[in-house]
Amino acid sequence: MSARAAFDVFDDNRDGFIDANELQKVLSALGIREGLTLENCNIMIRRFDDNSDGRIDFNEFVKLMENSFC
């Protein structure tokens, strides 16, 4: 799966960003429920949100993936 395809899975409303609600929805669908609060999703987003807009754009997502899997 390409990075763009993975991003699109998370970007449910197709606005070009992943917010905490979208992150929570996908992680829940993947069966990841332990500690999956909206606040924890916001914390995850803030960790990679370079421009501090409260959401993850595609470039930030790529960086997140590189840090998670490399």
Q: What is the pLDDT along the chain (70 residues), one digit of tens a residue?
A: 899 999 999 999 999 999 999 999 999 998 988 778 999 999 999 999 999 999 999 999 999 888 876 5
Rounded to an integer, what distance in angstroms lies between the CA atom of residue 34 and that of residue 24? 11
| Domains (range + CATH), the chain | 3-68 (1.10.238.10)
- Which residues contact residue 41 at a Cβ distance below 8 angstroms, ignoring those fewer than 6 apart? 20, 21, 23, 24, 27
pLDDT of residue 69: 67
pLDDT of residue 47: 93
Rounded to an integer, what distance in angstroms lies between the CA atom of residue 58 and that of residue 70? 18
